[in-house]
Structure 1
Amino acid sequence: MSEPEIRHVCVHDVRFGARVTIVEPCNLYGCEIGDDCFIGPFTEIQKTARIAARTRVQSHTFICELVSIGEDCFIGHGVMFINDTFATGGPAGGRKELWRSTTIGNRVSIGSGATILPVTICDDVVIGAGAVVTKDIAVAGSYVGNPARLLARR
């Protein structure tokens, strides 16, 4: 029997703004975290991800490469961001050219357990808990369900 490769929890090569709070354990690497942000425990934020000022990311959240989150946002517990759409019928593997980006506007709240595929979400949107966002959202309002649909305009 061979020994496993053990990778430790780490915060590495992160560009931090002022007054950022991180609750360990977290994996943050090659990303950017703006002023006055909060990052909860058991969170992973991958390289090239950007979190703007005053955004709260709750526990057990996964923010993959190519995700940009605006100012004054709330990301609930266990939210999953996806950058691989399985465009070829299966995982992209190491083929990053198949990955797609996600852009979240300002003042967006995403409820616990939501899944966000590669989309653009405009400012002033609420995504309900457990929703699955599969298409761009261009109208401010509240969205729920799988796939997420407009419940009420703001």
Structure 2
Amino acid sequence: MSQPDIHQVSVRDVEFGSRVRIVEPCNLYGCKIGDDCFVGPFTEIQKSAVIGARTRVQSHAFICELVTIGEDCFVGHGVTFVNDTFSSGGPARGRKELWRETAIGNRVSIGSNATIMPVRIVDDVVIGAGSVVTKDITTAGTYAGNPARRLASRR
């Protein structure tokens, strides 16, 4: 009988700003987390991801490689970021050249259980709970649905 290759939940090789608060268990590795951030339990933030100052990441969120989140953002419970678009008809299977990046501006709030594909989102955007963002958001406002569409402008 063979033994499994066990990887335990851990916080390793993370560049932390000041006054960061983490609720374990969570899996954070090779990422950068800015000043005064909060990371909730059962969260994974992968290598090279960047979380801006004063951003809150709630429980069960998944932030993969190639994701940058600005300052003063809110990432709700169960939000999932995706970097593999299945551009070859199936999963990239580790072929990182097929992955795409995501850039989230400042003061962006993402509701619980939203899915964020590789996109760019400008400052001052609200994404409704359960939304699926499939295209760049270039105008501040409130967006919701699958695919996410603008519901209101931001004043």
The match for 1:95 is: 95
- Residues of 1 paired with 2:94 and 2:22: CA distance? 29
Alignment of 1:62-73 (within 5 A): 62-73=62-73
Offset, 1:82: 0.1
1:134 and 2:134 equivalent?
A: yes
Alignment of 1:10-89 (within 5 A): 10-89=10-89
List gaps (5 residues or longer) in structure 1: none
1:110 and 2:105 equivalent?
A: no
| 1:6 counterpart SS class | coil
- Residues of 2 paired with 1:3 and 1:66: CA distance? 32
Deviations 1:106-144 (A, max 9, x none): 000000000000000000000000000000000100000
| 1:126 counterpart SS class | strand
Question: If the length of structure 2 is used for normalisation, what is the TM-score?
Answer: 0.98
> After TM superposition, which residue ranges in structure 1, 4 or more long, deviate above 6 angstroms?
none
How many positions carry a matched residue from both structures?
154
- Residues of 1 paired with 2:81 and 2:148: CA distance? 14
Offset, 1:104: 0.2
The root-mean-square deviation of aligned C-alpha atoms, in Å, is 0.5
Offset, 1:2: 1.9
- Residues of 1 paired with 2:119 and 2:106: CA distance? 15
Question: If the length of structure 1 is used for normalisation, what is the TM-score?
Answer: 0.99
Offset, 1:4: 1.6
Code of the aligned partner of 1:86: F
| 1:97 counterpart SS class | helix
| 2:97 counterpart SS class | helix
List gaps (5 residues or longer) in structure 2: none
The match for 2:150 is: 150
